[in-house]
Structure 1
Amino acid sequence: MFRNYIKIAFRSLKKQPFFTLINTFGLAIGMAGSLLIALYIYDELSYDKMFVDADRIYRIDMDIKFGGAEIKSAETAPPMAAALHRDFAEVENTVRFRTLGSNLFRSSDKSENIKELSTTYVDATFFNMFGLELIDGNKETALKETNTLVMTRTAAENHFGSINVVGKSLLLNNEDTYIVTGVMEDLPKNSFLKDYSIFMAMAGNVASRENIWGSNNYFTFVKVLPETKMDHFQLQLDGLLEKYVLPWAQKTFPGMTAASFAASGNYIRYHTIPLTDIHLHSDNKTEMGEKGTIQNVYIFSFIGFFLIFLACVNFMNLSTAHSLKRAKEVGIRKTLGSNRIQLIVQFLTESSLISFASMILAVIVAFIALPFFNDLAGRTISIPYTEPLFYVAILLFTIVLGLFSGSYPAFVISRFIPVETLKGNGFKNGSKWNIRSMLVVFQFGIAVFLIVGTLVIFQQLQFIQTKDLGYSKEQVLVISDTYAAGQQVNAFKQEVLSLSAVKSATLSSFMPIASARSNSPFFREDAMDQKFAIQMQTWDVDHDYMKTFGMELIAGRGFNNQSVADSTATIINESTLTTLGLSAQEALGKRITEEVELGKPVFYRIIGVIKDFHYESLREDIGALGLFLNKSTGSMAVKLKTDDFASAISSIENIWNEQAPGQPFNYRFMDDAFDTSYKEERRLGNIFIVFTCLSIFIACLGLFGLAAFNAQKRTKEIGVRKVLGASVSQITFGLTTDFLKLVAIATAIALPLGWYVMNIWLQDFSYRIQISWEILAFSAFLVIVIAILTVSYQSIKAAIANPVKSLRTE
């Protein structure tokens, strides 16, 4: 019997090639889109789960409020790990990372440096903590000695052309020599360590051995024993403030107590976050790796689910619309003795065959589209062809999808009454068809929601691009790693300034773009108590810094390179004034210091106040900031006054090669660096565009099917109307209006939902747009135009049909 169902299903599908093709194609597009999204979500949810005992590894985070600033930090003090080992019986192991960002390395037999973008100090417990092995070297001793390092396979091949490099030496930043003691495989692409290539022994980091609880620069991970009660662990963490932090702070502020600290409105709160939650659930500003968001996972889950649901709805609509042609077949089958169950199985067999064909096509489409999707999403996702579970999941998904998408047509068609169907009256008007209208409303509601989301994301990005940042980022070339020029760095700057294409240049490691930076507490000379602390960033700059970036001075003066006194001067921003409780003019001449624990603290006199500028992402409020006249040669910013960038860059590179032979010349434009800060938003926007188009396409297929069904069902009515004098335009308008009512209902429901959800998304930005009525109106207009274009073909086709032929149709 089953073989007979298959045979009849094949014959039926072959007999109606256009219907079969459009159903298969529509379902395949929805499946392919959902498959890509499922792979993306699986990749996001799999972060850091590959490590041994990942479920028992936690990171110690802290929330701080001090000096007018509230900070969520993933970094803690250097003695944190030792305190956990000493005081917590649940602790099995700990490891600390002290990230260093990018650094230059070269082997001792070469003169040219290679830049490693992500490097870090790490404790010797690193390998046992995460269950990592070495390709070469002894993991138990690899990071125990100072000036030793372990590198990844790729880094070893880049520097030495081989992985057999244990015992060889590398020069760090042309100064310190490190011995390679191990080589490890590249870290997985779905781990927080994926970008790191050089791991240096923490033993060489002097600050890591200091008992300073106020300097928080170390990512501290802890592995707890099995069955540890984390609520009890948290209670012990709460006790660290009084046991360690306050006694350390009392050396500086003798009268400080837990009560006085809390009374001033300040707090320090330690807490844990599971290793496997960091990628999606951490809300800290600084992380060791690229961070995702659980909100994006929810958004893509929503899109993926409704994409496949829309495809199923289309299948139902098209199958039901086509069922008029099969009404007599059903009537004859029932007359000859077929029962309803047999008819349902027959139609479900047909839908399952289409589902299997669609899945095969979907996998092919996903395979072709995957490189483009990876580029779009910034991932390295692959289809797991070697995983048996993948095929099991695909098979089950296809069966369920086939049964689900074919269920509505099967149950509806099998209910036809033989006498009525043989007379050509298989369908009767009634409320039972409202479900199909509701499905179309649902389809277009999703399309409207996605259109609103896309427009809001891109309008926010446009707002970011055009907002006044308080400094000039156009035509600013940033040259990285200028410290590699050594003593020649100032000569390099002076020669660059002599170029006719250069307007100004400044040497500083601090650039006004989002990056990892730390705050320091400062105190007014007349208020040296912890409750009057000013938590602010300190930037070391030269006297050309403000001129190069076009920063606006609102009070006082800038730095004077000829003034010796300016070595103990500072220029603050407007946000610092708020914490100081002073006006710009009142702040001039006041002195501040961060060295309250020393006998003779160094005081810095405020000589100027600059207008606030956005040195962080627009997601963040502008915090307190002080500029200090100090040597800082990490980067050089060059303000160009020419549009011939290629020639200017070539001239600067020639000077670099003369002043720093053998050193890499790395540069980027400031506006490109600024755009990089919002790459996740751009990716989200681009993905929204792609899946919005797919959703609209699928929704239009559904509407096309409903229009075809409606035109067939009203064939005689249209013929009668034409005979009685109705024009083609009147009939077309009447048929189209029916569907526009459904689209209007969908729009009315989806617009407020889209407004609400996208307002939540915008809350991540401290500086954001307001969703205007124009966005909502354009979304409604666009979807109505699309609906009219979709329906008009079937409406016009029905309206121009010969009425004589229509009235003779049974």
Structure 2
Amino acid sequence: MFKNNIKIAWRSLKKQPFFTFLNTFGLAIGMAGALLITLYIHDELSYDRMFADADRIYRINADVKFGGLPEQLGESPEPMAETLMRDYPQVELATRLRNQGSILLRKANVTANVKELNSTFADSTFFKMFGIQLLDGDAKTALKDPNTLVLTRTAAEKHFGINNAVGQEMVLNNLGTFRVTGVMEDMPKNSLLRDHTVFMSMPSFQYAQIGHWGSLNYYTFVKMVPRADMAAFQEGLNSLIGRYLIPWIQDFYPGMTEESFKASGNFINYSAMPLTDIHLYSNMKSELSANGSIQNTYILSFVALFLVILAVVNFMNLSTAYSMKRAKEVGVRKTLGSNKSDLVRQFLTESGLICFLSLLIAVGIAFLALPFFNELANKAISIPFANPVFWLAIVLATILLGLLSGTYPAFFMSRFIPVKVLKGSGLSNLGGSKVRNSLVVFQFAVSILLIVATVVVYQQLSFIQSKELGYDKEQILVLEDINNVNGQEQALKSEILRLGQVQHVTLSSFLPTPSARTGQTFFKEGANNQEDAINMEHWRVDHDYLSTIGLELVAGRDFDVRIPTDSSAIIINETTLRTLNVSAENAIGLRISSDLGASEEDITYQTIIGVVQNFHYDSMRNNIESLCLAIGRFPGSMAIKMTAQNTASTVSAIEGIWNDIAPGQPFNYYFMDDSFNNSFESEQRLGQIFSIFTVLSILIACLGLFGLATFNAQKRTKEIGIRKVLGASVSQISYRLTTDFLKMVGWAIIISLPIGWYAMNKWLEDFSYRIEIQWWMLLLAAFLAIFIAVVTVSYQSIKAAIVNPVKSLRTE
């Protein structure tokens, strides 16, 4: 019987090619979109699960408030790892990482440096912690001694080759010589260390063993013993403050107690986060690499679900709508002895066959679209064709989809009464119209919801990119790795300033776009209690920083190279004024110090000489925090303000100067506005993904609406002929046919707009600086839905209205 059902189903599908195309193509589009999103979500959920005992590895986080706004950090103090290993029996192993960022690396016998974008100092237990095997070298001792490092496969091949790297000498940042002691495989793309290529031994870092409980600069990972009591461990973490942090602070403040520390409003809370949660649940101020978002994952999960549901709704709608054409078939079958269960099996077989055909098309569409999707999502996803679990999941999902989409039409058509349908009476009242109308409303409600989301995401991105930032990011070229010029920074700066297209030049690693960051605690003169602490970012700049970056002074003056005392002067931002509780004018001349706990005669003060307008140097998700600028020599980068004319020739001229001063050294640069835009890459990608899948959802909804409009026009052929004979115009008939569908779109608008407004307001809450959802955004989504519906339906309406009424009235 199954073979017979398949044959009948195939013949039935061939007899109605238009219906088959709409159903198959609609399902295929929905399944292909859902498949791509499912692969994306699977990749997001797989982060860091490849490491040995990943479920037992945790990172120690710190929530801190000390003289400023609260901060959430993924880093902890330098002694944390050793202390946990010594004091906590639940800890089996601990290791630390100290992120170094980009470095310059070269073989000892060459002069040209190679830039490695991501490097870190690591304890010798690092490889054991994550179960990493070396391709060459001994993992137990590779990072044990000072001035040793391990390269990934990519880095080793770049410098020596895999088999020739171990034992070689390399010069780091033109300063120290390191010996290569191992080569490891590249870190997986779905790991938190995916971009890191150089791992240097922790003993090489001079501040790694000073017992500094106030420095939160180390990523500390612990591996717990099996079935460890995490609640007890978490409680023990909180006890570290009284046992270690407060005694360390008492070296500077002898009267400090844990109670007085908490009473001041300051706090430090340590917590353990599972390694496998970091990528999706961690959004700390400091991360080893860019993380994803569980919120975005949920959103995309709903989008995938909506696509499948929309495709299923299409099938149900079209199947029940076309049931009138098959009513007599059902009547004949019942007359010849078919019972209800036989008919249900037949119609379910047809829906299953359509789903199977849709699956083949969907996999093909997904395969062809995957390279573009990977580029859009910045992924390296592949379809696991060789994995039997993948095919099992696909087949089971297809069977389930066939049952979901075919059950209602199957039971609906199997209820037809043979006498009525064979006589032809009551064919126009077979029922199901309320269900079909409800499903159309649901389809368009989902589509409108996605339109609202897309509009809001793009408006937020537009707001971010056009917002007044408080500094000038346009036409600023940032030249990296200035330490390659071997002390000739000023000569390079002077030569570049000679170019006619260059307006200003400054030396500093600290820029408003993603760059070096450093925080420090200060005290006003005469107020050195911990309640008076001011925690703020401390940037080292040169005398031309403000003019180059375009920062606006609201009080005081800029640094002046002719004033020697400016070497101990600072310029603060407006947020710092609120922390100091003074006005901009009264802040000028105040002295502050970072010499925590020093005697009065040993304190070095810095004098505030200016106040700059607040500017955004962090993500729009975060508030602007306290900041001060001071003169200092940390010229890892050079920012060059250029005119808008002949940018390419100016860059070429700067490269020529670079090659003269630093021959053989890499010329690395970027534009500040590009760096700013890249900092919102995840939001931009989300907006693009939303746009694509919104278009897909609208396409699926339109396919269904087009099919229903076609069916409706055929169903009302005689009515249209009679109306034309009685004098109705083409426009009147088209209007009447279209209005029925617009009522359903109207209900969809009423349902979806409040939900869209609420959902996107929740999404916007993640941004400290955000737009308000305006009425016109919701109106635009409603107008687009109405326009799409009218365009979809009007073709069939007009086509039906212009048919010769003689032909319409002859229709059987």
One fold, TM greater than 0.5?
A: yes
SS in 2 for 1:409: helix
Q: What is aligned with 1:102?
A: 102
In the alignment, structure 1 residue 179 sits paired with structure 2 residue 179: yes
Decide which of 677, 680, 693 is 1:678's aligned counterpart: 680
Q: What is aligned with 1:791?
A: 793
Counting only pairs closer than 5 Å after superposition, residues 360-759 of structure 1 correspond to structure 2 as 360-425=360-425, 427-429=427-429, 432-515=432-515, 517-599=517-599, 600-759=602-761
How far off its partner does 1:163 sit?
Answer: 4.0
Note if contact 2:324-2:430 (Cα within 8 Å) is conserved in structure 1. Answer: no
Structure 2 stretches of 5 or more lacking a match? none
Q: What is aligned with 2:250?
A: 250
State the alpha-carbon separation in 2 of the partners of residues 444 and 69 from structure 1: 45
In the alignment, structure 1 residue 359 sits paired with structure 2 residue 380: no
Residue 114 of structure 1 aligns with an amino acid whose one-letter code is: V
Q: 1:655 to 1:696 in 2, by over 3 A?
A: same
Counting only pairs closer than 5 Å after superposition, residues 89-488 of structure 1 correspond to structure 2 as 89-425=89-425, 427-429=427-429, 432-488=432-488
How far off its partner does 1:208 sit?
Answer: 1.2
Residue 793 of structure 1 aligns with an amino acid whose one-letter code is: Y
Q: 1:516 to 1:550 in 2, by over 3 A?
A: closer
Note if contact 2:517-2:539 (Cα within 8 Å) is conserved in structure 1. Answer: no
With the length of structure 1 as denominator, give the TM-score of the two structures.
0.98
Most deviating of 669-678 and 402-411? 402-411
Q: 1:670 to 1:220 in 2, by over 3 A?
A: same
How far off its partner does 1:700 sit?
Answer: 0.6
Most deviating of 550-559 and 319-328? 319-328
Residue by residue over 1:686-730, the C-alpha shift from the partner in whole angstroms, topping out at 9 and shown as x without a partner, is 011100000000011111122223223333333333333322222
Residue 592 of structure 2 aligns with an amino acid whose one-letter code is: I
State the alpha-carbon separation in 2 of the partners of residues 188 and 730 from structure 1: 64
State the alpha-carbon separation in 2 of the partners of residues 795 and 229 from structure 1: 69
SS in 2 for 1:116: strand
Q: What is aligned with 2:778?
A: 776
Residue by residue over 1:285-321, the C-alpha shift from the partner in whole angstroms, topping out at 9 and shown as x without a partner, is 2110110000010000000001011011111122222
Residue by residue over 1:197-232, the C-alpha shift from the partner in whole angstroms, topping out at 9 and shown as x without a partner, is 000001111211011110110000001011111111
How far off its partner does 1:483 sit?
Answer: 1.3
State the alpha-carbon separation in 1 of the partners of residues 350 and 466 from structure 2: 55
Residue by residue over 1:550-601, the C-alpha shift from the partner in whole angstroms, topping out at 9 and shown as x without a partner, is 1111111111112221111111111100000011111111100111223312
State the alpha-carbon separation in 2 of the partners of residues 380 and 757 from structure 1: 30
SS in 2 for 1:511: coil
Residue 633 of structure 2 aligns with an amino acid whose one-letter code is: K
Q: 1:426 to 1:95 in 2, by over 3 A?
A: farther
Residue by residue over 1:470-514, the C-alpha shift from the partner in whole angstroms, topping out at 9 and shown as x without a partner, is 111111000011111121111111100111111010000101113
Residue 99 of structure 1 aligns with an amino acid whose one-letter code is: N
SS in 1 for 2:349: helix
How far off its partner does 1:268 sit?
Answer: 0.7
How far off its partner does 1:641 sit?
Answer: 1.7
Most deviating of 330-339 and 154-163? 154-163
Q: 1:423 to 1:516 in 2, by over 3 A?
A: farther
Most deviating of 154-163 and 441-450? 154-163
Note if contact 1:51-1:130 (Cα within 8 Å) is conserved in structure 2. Answer: yes
Residue 6 of structure 2 aligns with an amino acid whose one-letter code is: I
Q: 1:378 to 1:183 in 2, by over 3 A?
A: same
State the alpha-carbon separation in 2 of the partners of residues 362 and 437 from structure 1: 27
Residue 502 of structure 1 aligns with an amino acid whose one-letter code is: V
State the alpha-carbon separation in 2 of the partners of residues 644 and 427 from structure 1: 75
Note if contact 1:320-1:709 (Cα within 8 Å) is conserved in structure 2. Answer: no
State the alpha-carbon separation in 2 of the partners of residues 611 and 737 from structure 1: 57
Q: 1:431 to 1:346 in 2, by over 3 A?
A: closer
Structure 1 stretches of 5 or more lacking a match? none
Most deviating of 3-12 and 502-511? 3-12
Note if contact 1:286-1:516 (Cα within 8 Å) is conserved in structure 2. Answer: no
Q: 1:677 to 1:693 in 2, by over 3 A?
A: same
State the alpha-carbon separation in 2 of the partners of residues 162 and 41 from structure 1: 34
Report how many residues are paired: 810
Residue by residue over 1:368-425, the C-alpha shift from the partner in whole angstroms, topping out at 9 and shown as x without a partner, is 0000001111111111112110010011111111121122221111111112222334
SS in 2 for 1:86: helix
With the length of structure 2 as denominator, give the TM-score of the two structures.
0.98
Q: What is aligned with 2:10?
A: 10
Residue 89 of structure 1 aligns with an amino acid whose one-letter code is: P
SS in 1 for 2:488: helix
Residue by residue over 1:258-284, the C-alpha shift from the partner in whole angstroms, topping out at 9 and shown as x without a partner, is 111111111111111100000001131
Residue by residue over 1:618-664, the C-alpha shift from the partner in whole angstroms, topping out at 9 and shown as x without a partner, is 11111111100111110000000242111000110011111111111
State the alpha-carbon separation in 1 of the partners of residues 423 and 698 from structure 2: 38
Q: 1:292 to 1:426 in 2, by over 3 A?
A: farther
Residue 628 of structure 1 aligns with an amino acid whose one-letter code is: A
Residue 763 of structure 1 aligns with an amino acid whose one-letter code is: E
State the alpha-carbon separation in 2 of the partners of residues 73 and 176 from structure 1: 30
How far off its partner does 1:326 sit?
Answer: 1.6
Note if contact 2:513-2:676 (Cα within 8 Å) is conserved in structure 1. Answer: yes
Note if contact 1:515-1:616 (Cα within 8 Å) is conserved in structure 2. Answer: no
Residue by residue over 1:141-189, the C-alpha shift from the partner in whole angstroms, topping out at 9 and shown as x without a partner, is 1110111111110110111144431111211111211111111111111
Residue by residue over 1:663-684, the C-alpha shift from the partner in whole angstroms, topping out at 9 and shown as x without a partner, is 1111111100110111111100
Residue 664 of structure 1 aligns with an amino acid whose one-letter code is: P
State the alpha-carbon separation in 1 of the partners of residues 24 and 797 from structure 2: 24
Q: 1:134 to 1:162 in 2, by over 3 A?
A: closer
Note if contact 1:23-1:318 (Cα within 8 Å) is conserved in structure 2. Answer: yes
State the alpha-carbon separation in 2 of the partners of residues 435 and 515 from structure 1: 57
Note if contact 1:331-1:422 (Cα within 8 Å) is conserved in structure 2. Answer: yes
State the alpha-carbon separation in 2 of the partners of residues 119 and 137 from structure 1: 19
Residue by residue over 1:521-545, the C-alpha shift from the partner in whole angstroms, topping out at 9 and shown as x without a partner, is 1000121110011110000000000
Residue by residue over 1:327-381, the C-alpha shift from the partner in whole angstroms, topping out at 9 and shown as x without a partner, is 2111111111111111111111111111111111111110100000011111111
Residue 680 of structure 2 aligns with an amino acid whose one-letter code is: Y
Note if contact 2:330-2:414 (Cα within 8 Å) is conserved in structure 1. Answer: yes
SS in 2 for 1:209: coil
Most deviating of 243-252 and 400-409? 400-409
Residue 495 of structure 2 aligns with an amino acid whose one-letter code is: E
State the alpha-carbon separation in 1 of the partners of residues 673 and 349 from structure 2: 58
What RMSD in Å do the two structures reach over aligned CA positions? 1.3
State the alpha-carbon separation in 2 of the partners of residues 268 and 515 from structure 1: 26
SS in 2 for 1:260: helix
How far off its partner does 1:426 sit?
Answer: 5.8
How far off its partner does 1:547 sit?
Answer: 0.7
State the alpha-carbon separation in 1 of the partners of residues 636 and 682 from structure 2: 27
